[in-house]
Structure 1
Amino acid sequence: MSEHRNLIIAIAMSIAVLGIWEYFYGGAQREKEQLVAEQQRIERGTETPAAGAAPAPQAGVSTPPPVVANPGATREQAVASGARIPLDTAHLSGSISLIGGRIDDVQLKDYRETVEPNSPNIVLLTPPGGPQPFYAEHGWVAGQGTQAALPGPQTPWTQEGAGTLTAETPITLRWDNGAGLVFRRTIAVDPEYMFTVTDRVENTGSAAVTLHPYALVSRHGRPKVAGYYILHEGMLGFLGDDGLQEIKYDKLDEEGAIQFSPNRGWLGITDKYWATAIVPPQNEPYTGRFAATKGEVPTYQGDYLLGARTVEPGATSEVQGRLFAGAKETRIINAYGENLSIPNFDLMIDWGWFYFLTKPMFWVIDFFYHLVGNFGVAILIVTVLVKAVFYPLASKSYASMSKMKLVQPELVALRERYKDDKAAQQKAMMELYKAQKINPAAGCLPILIQIPVFFALYKVIFITIEMRHAPFFGWIRDLSAPDPTTIFNLFGLLPYDPGAVPVVGHFLMLGVWPIIMGITMFVQMRLNPLPPDPTQAMLFTWMPVFFTFLLSSFPAGLVIYWSWNNTLSVLQQATIMRRQGVKIELFDNIKGLFQRKPKPGT
């Protein structure tokens, strides 16, 4: 085995990382750009929203009519077009529509569209009658043999009493069908993001009626998505024995509807940082469904239908469902799952297949964040802890690499002695390794250790809302976004945006932290001399440059981690080399870089 096999493996792994990144990120990024262009066409008015949402789940007889959209109206006009009850809590603002009794106007007080403090708040739900409706609806559909008039999307409810919906004051709506059925809907909301909707029907008539409770979340038009393979955006739910369901918009477009029959769980629509999910009663079976309707702009829906309730004359039937509409904050999501006995509600956050790495990584970073008050500093601390945990393994690796350097003259002599007999050369080298207790592949171990930590940290930074708009120091105001500076406009001194350059603009966004990362990687690799093979030497030389440009598009938090990790690795390797009696020839190795031919063993 060649002493440079560890280098070849490292390079191969690096190329694999690049290939994975291109597969998962590059293609997804192009898809994202196409979707953004499509969305911009919609917003410019070249296309109009679909005429209505997918109907409520059918119970065999009738369904409420679809909600009609008005493509010419703004969101503000849609909100102002009908009677409403204000919504105001510590984290939410908006209103409840008396037309249809829908929850369709929700904004998040704690989150803004950009890092600017005067940026608009995030709008989560928006009503029909305006652009891109997104709303939740609860109600009843008629069972077999029932022809009674039921409340639907256009039903004008009235409020019993008066007041605003707050965490302390629920509201109650009422509608009388004039034929013996009186419907009441009580809507409550907790201090965070969970609504509780209680629907009650009283039969004052002379004949029994059969009704099915339902709930739905409906979204008109495909939203802008991040478009990354490692992140799911679209239909999401945990449906009993069917388990976690992650259904992308494209798949639903193809299949039209996907149906399940669980007896517990939840379902809805998720974005990167926000979600809207309906939670049926957990003590009875139901039919869950994801559906899409085609049109100029498609409509996507998640809904459930409960079993029949027969309401005899003089009797009352009641059903309670929940609606989550808010930010996917880890602490809050976990608490809902535990306190409300909602199974696997924590899976609303896309921890991925390697959740056993990503979740602990988040917990540790979040722990130190609450100690130091800065997620960037918390990442630096966690990096030190990771290095400490793997120090024994890395120490053996660096010690073996140091011994490898000590025997370089003997290796050069062996090559010369057996230059015409490769088999004998390999045998002699293996005997030398064995005598000196050297593992030629030991240099791969630090890289093998870094890769899972790297991807776990990347996942955490990318998916968790806690990292969104989290500042570090200086110009890094959002650890989840790339470094906003670039050397190609002298870090802001020149008045133009290199990123706006067609085709190659994204390659020109080379910020301060990616450059720091590239320098630290260069120094780390220069602790060892260039390999004698010209091809290996070339790869060895250009790898830091390649990674500098590659990581410029990664979240700044990840680049800061990589830079700090490289720095710690340099200090660790230099310390071990001194202990092994190996001379540190950093400047000599850099000088050798500019020689035409790298000298073996120097």
Structure 2
Amino acid sequence: MTDDNKNLYLAIALSILFIVGWNFFYGLPKLHQPREAAQQAQVAANGAQPPGTTVNPIAPSGAATTPAGVATTAAVDRSRQDVLKDSPRVALETPSLAGSINLKGGRIDDVSLKDYRETVAPDSPIIDLLSPSGSPHPFYVETGFVGQPGATTPMPNANTVWTADKAKLTPAEPVTLTYDNGQGLVFRRTLAVDDKYMFTVADSVENKTAAPVTLFPYGLVSRHGKPVTSGYAVLHEGLIGVVGDSGVQEIKYDAIAKEANGTKLMDGTGGWIGFTDKYWAAAVVPDQSQPYKGRFSVTGQDEPKNYQTDILDDAKTVAPGAIGTVTSRVFAGAKEVNTINAYQSNLGIKKFDLLIDWGWFYFITKPLFSVIDYFFKLTGNFGIAILITTILLKGIFFPLANKSYMSMAKMKKVQPQMAAIKERFPDDRAKQQQATMELYKSEKINPVSGCLPMLIQIPIFFSLYKVIFITIEMRQAPFFGWIRDLSAPDPTSIFNLFGLIPFTPPHILAIGAWPIIMGFTMFLQMKMQPEPPDPVQKTMFNWMPVIFTYTLSAFPSGLVIYYSWNNLLTVLQQLLIAKRAGAKIELWDNLGGLFRKKPA
């Protein structure tokens, strides 16, 4: 291998190490803050001052903001269950969801995910996604109408108590809520829900007056207080939406306050808007054929601030004796890939798949998940699916790798000639390079091809990292033995002999069995190459497996298993190709050199 190639390998390795290390030291401390402490702090913040009013939906053009209604105020430190008892409710029961619809305000503000629990323990509580105003973590969805600027006609608001025609909302039985404002307008809200996470909301107004009435349909998702986030820069958590053809808009909680007046406005036709967590999301989806205005906003100077995403449709005029209806959808649930894809294709929701943060390598990440998911359905184990996918990737790139490794093998064989060139022209680098290029030409060697496998592996590595880290399908997915969650780090540690010693080491010493296996396979891969003559490079390459073992110990175990398996396959591949090329296998000499005594 030439010095230039070694420098390139070193640069690539250092780049990967920098990115991995930056995520480890910047993102991981946030991830491992005790969740309970963060939640208690947020509860305390909510208790310091009552939750604020709902941020108003976008005002109709040229008018002052029209209130959507005042949020209810709760007593300090009240539990979610206590707050739910404060208002009349319609029960929500589907194969995937449990909860209720609040008849006070007509909000969707109590949604729990029946298929997902907080931990891998089977008796762990299920995930609570949406919660009412006044609870420790208010998070809810609201739709309806706002009136014209200056209009005095009573409109439904957060304190309006609706009547329901049924006691329970199920996939088989929609529920219709009704409110009569007493001045000739009758509002109805029909809610339907499927067996997963999508609500269909039909808001209508019947005009019994003698004059036409003009209203503006709106929808919003409101969140009081900044939620606990994982803190990783490679994952977006916060306000998100696709409004028209603008592409996906992502703003983190701290960033929205930096916008002018804490507001970001958009407009277009088609799309959706809401909030995304790592695995869950809530969003409003307007009529995909009608133009609307979208907004991200935050209010409040101190914590807890109120964050909101909302939409406002164009004015809708309802003639006397007529009924005007607007249909929108509300997503509240888990970001399951196949479910999200089905909603996009079946309901025609523009770019709804971008609710999942596939990252820069979208064109690799999403197909890669599909392949892993296919093998999971065959084997029933995501860990095995990752191993099979790795073999498949190795097979696809084998011709390129074979050509690359053959070129590297030829370069090893001409090392004596290259050393002779340096001795012949010790002080003339131009002649060294000219003679080296002539040697490459005569031996049909392409020095750049030796770097291609590593360059190709970089986007695949990060794409697989994204798949394992962001997809809910990997959450709490077991492998074998002690790996019960492929999306979490290896829970063992060498510092308590992997559980044999009754001692729980601090997080900084949590170096598990799989990271050590990964480090060993990386060590073998490094030893497949000739020892660098430069002492600095040699020291760096010798320490690289150790550094990566420590750094990747905090990464998802599924990624570490992939990396270990990939390293082992690479070593076997290099051994095979080197043998076919008749090149010297450096591994044995490099391993033997570890035990030979150095001359005094």
**TM-score > 0.5, shorter chain as reference:** yes
> Is 2:389 aligned against 1:382?
yes
Alpha-carbon separation, structure 2, partners of 1:537 and 1:302: 54
1:253 paired with 2:257, answer: yes
SS at match of 1:187: strand
Secondary structure, counterpart of 1:262 in structure 2: strand
Determine helix, strand or coil for the equivalent of 2:404: helix
1:252 maps to a residue whose letter is I
Pairwise CA distance, 1:323 = 0.4
Shift of residue 245, structure 1, vs aligned partner:
1.3
Structure 1 window deviating more from structure 2 (94-103 vs 45-54): it is: 45-54
Q: 1:298-309 counterparts in 2 under 5 A?
A: 298-309=305-316
How far off is 1:117 after superposition?
1.3
Corresponding residue number in structure 2 for 1:442: 449
Instruction: Map 1:157-196; keep pairs closer than 5 Å.
Output: 157-160=162-165, 162-196=166-200
Distance 1:205 1:34, change over 3 A: same
Q: 1:213 to 1:429 in 2, by over 3 A?
A: closer
Secondary structure of residue in 1 paired with 2:205: strand
User: How far does residue 40 in structure 1 lie from its aligned partner after superposition?
Assistant: 4.2
Residue 91 (str. 1) matches residue 91 (str. 2): no
Match of 2:477 in 1: 470
**Would the alpha carbon gap of residues 274 and 179 (structure 1) be closer, same or farther in structure 2, given more than 3 Å must change?**
same
Structure 2, unmatched stretches of 5+, are none
Aligned-residue Cα RMSD (Å) equals: 2.3
- Alignment-mate amino acid for residue 140 of structure 1: F
Do the aligned residues in 1 keep the contact of 2:294 with 2:311 (CA within 8 Å)? Answer: yes
Q: Match for residue 269 of structure 2?
A: 263
Q: Structure 1 residue 154 and structure 2 residue 159: aligned?
A: yes
Taking only the aligned residue pairs, the percentage that are identical comes to: 55
Question: Post-superposition shift, 1:372?
Answer: 1.2
Gaps of 5+ in 1: 500-504
- Give the aligned partner of residue 332 of structure 1: 339
Tell me, in whole angstroms, the C-alpha distance in 2 between the residues paired with 1:181 and 1:314.
10
Structure 1 residue aligned with 2:558: 557
Q: Is the 8 A contact 1:50 1:296 kept in 2?
A: no
Alignment match, 1:574: 575
CA drift of 1:405 comes to 2.5
Where does 1:60-459 land on structure 2 (aligned, <5 Å)? 60=63, 62-70=66-74, 71-144=76-149, 146-160=151-165, 162-255=166-259, 256-294=262-300, 295-459=302-466
1:42 aligned partner:
42
Q: TM-score, normalised by structure 1?
A: 0.93
CA contact (8 A) 1:531 1:598 kept: no
Moved more, 403-412 or 195-204: 403-412
Q: Is the 8 A contact 1:101 1:137 kept in 2?
A: yes
Amino acid at match of 1:10: Y
Give how far 1:300 is off.
0.7
Instruction: Name the aligned partner's letter for residue 69 of structure 1.
Output: T
SS at 1:491 equivalent: helix
For residues 38-88 of structure 1, the C-alpha deviation after alignment (integer angstroms, 9 at most, x for no partner) is 654223457445323212333436423320332421101011111111100
Task: Give 1:540 deviation, angstroms.
Answer: 2.0
Q: Deviations over 1:497-516 (max 9, x none)?
A: 223xxxxx43x121111111
Moved more, 214-223 or 529-538: 529-538
After superposition, what is the alpha-carbon deviation per residue over 1:154-199, rounded to whole angstroms, capped at 9, x for unaligned? 1111112x33100001111112222222222111101111101111
State whether residues 530 and 593 of structure 1, in contact with CA within 8 Å, keep that contact through their aligned partners in structure 2: no
1:222 deviates by 0.5
Deviation at 1:490? 1.0
Query: Could you tell me how far apart the structure 1 residues matched to 2:598 and 2:447 are?
Result: 24
Decide whether the 8 Å contact of 1:182 with 1:202 is kept in 2. yes
> Is contact 1:269-1:275 (8 Å) kept?
yes
CA–CA separation in structure 2 for the residues paired with 1:216 and 1:552: 41
Q: Which moved more, 1:522-531 or 1:562-571?
A: 522-531
Residue 172 of structure 1 aligns to which amino acid in structure 2?
T
Is the CA contact (8 Å cut-off) linking 1:375 and 1:470 kept in structure 2? yes
Q: 2:72, 2:158 within 8 Å by CA — same for their partners in 1?
A: no
User: Offset at 1:26?
Assistant: 3.4
Q: Following TM superposition, by how much is the alpha carbon of 1:414 offset from its aligned partner in structure 2, in angstroms?
A: 4.1
Distance of aligned partners of 1:31 and 1:517 in 2 relative to their CA distance in 1, 3 Å threshold: closer
Q: 2:5 matched to which residue of 1?
A: 6
Q: Give the secondary structure class of the aligned counterpart of 2:295.
A: strand
